[in-house]
């Protein structure tokens, strides 16, 4: 395994995207959704990128990349059409020990972005270590059918249940048994069917009387 899989907290961190086209936009949207403080460097922007900048979700430097642009950055993605630019970005980032990804060029990356399936707080990442991004995307699309939107609410229930147990001081084997009961339960199916009554019965059986979706602060719709 060449790459060490990790989820990074980039909220509020300075990140840079080089390029203003469709690929750069996809990378920019992902960074913005994770809370990055984003700067886009490109002479021009496509419509989606203009909207991102117009909504003040990113800062735009309207010119090509210049050495020195990466100073202070935590993470950089280069999606330029120019190989020379991409190579220069990689060299500067490497010299500054900055995380850098050159799109579709795994030899000029010290991190790669996996294909990701998001269901609320649940994130599933699929990677082929840069050997076939297309296959990684196909696997992710297959998972989209198996893991529906109901899993977003399921994760919220799991989190609320864990918090409930910790608040009560339940620890060790007992806490693990209860959480396992949740994990192995039909809760995702009940959520999909909107069966609030069955869910509440389950919650009260395992967490105690009075514990309902409403009490835990979880909505399934």
Q: How far apart are CA 17 and CA 89, in angstroms?
A: 10
Residue 38 domain flag: yes
Residue 8 domain flag: no
Is residue 98 within 8 Å of 74, Cβ to Cβ? yes
**Does one domain contain both 94 and 39?**
yes
**Does one domain contain both 104 and 170?**
no
Residue 1 domain flag: no
Q: Which pLDDT belongs to residue 113?
A: 86
Q: How far apart are CA 174 and CA 169, in angstroms?
A: 11
**Does one domain contain both 109 and 20?**
yes
Q: What is the mean pLDDT of residues 87-101?
A: 97
Q: What is the mean pLDDT of residues 134-138?
A: 93
Residue 137 domain flag: yes
Q: Which residues pair with 15 in a beta bridge?
A: 38, 75
pLDDT, averaged across the chain: 95
**Does one domain contain both 186 and 143?**
no
pLDDT digits (tens, 9 = 90+) for 142-176: 999 899 999 999 999 999 999 999 999 988 999 99
Q: How far apart are CA 119 and CA 149, in angstroms?
A: 6
Q: How does residue 1 score in pLDDT terms, banded at 50, 70 and 90?
A: low
Q: Which pLDDT belongs to residue 171?
A: 86
Domain assignment of residue 32, given as a range? 14-113
Residue 2 domain flag: no
Spatial CA neighbour of 157 closest among 178, 177, 128, 174:
178
**Does one domain contain both 135 and 160?**
no
Judged against a pLDDT cut of 80, whether residue 87 lies above it is answered with yes
């Amino acid at each position: 395994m060449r790459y060490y899989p990790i989820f990074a907290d980039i909220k509020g961190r300075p990140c840079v995207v080089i390029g203003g086209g469709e690929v750069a936009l996809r990378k920019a949207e992902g960074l913005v959704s994770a809370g990055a403080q984003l700067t886009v460097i490109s002479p021009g922007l496509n419509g989606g990128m203009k909207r991102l900048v117009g909504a003040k979700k990113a800062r735009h430097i309207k010119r090509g990349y210049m050495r020195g642009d990466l100073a202070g950055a935590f993470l950089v993605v280069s999606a330029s059409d120019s190989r020379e630019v991409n190579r220069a970005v990689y060299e500067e980032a490497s010299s500054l020990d900055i995380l850098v990804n050159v799109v579709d060029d795994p030899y000029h990356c010290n991190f790669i972005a996996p294909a990701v399936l998001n269901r609320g707080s649940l994130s599933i990442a699929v990677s082929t270590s840069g050997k076939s991004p297309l296959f990684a995307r196909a696997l992710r699309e297959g998972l989209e059918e198996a893991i529906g939107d109901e899993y977003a609410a399921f994760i919220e229930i799991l989190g609320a249940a864990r918090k409930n147990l910790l608040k009560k001081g339940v620890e060790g084997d007992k806490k693990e048994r209860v959480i396992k009961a949740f994990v192995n339960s039909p809760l995702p199916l009940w959520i999909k069917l909107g069966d609030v009554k069955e869910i509440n019965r389950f919650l009260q059986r395992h967490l105690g009387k009075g514990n309902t979706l409403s009490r835990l602060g979880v909505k399934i719709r």
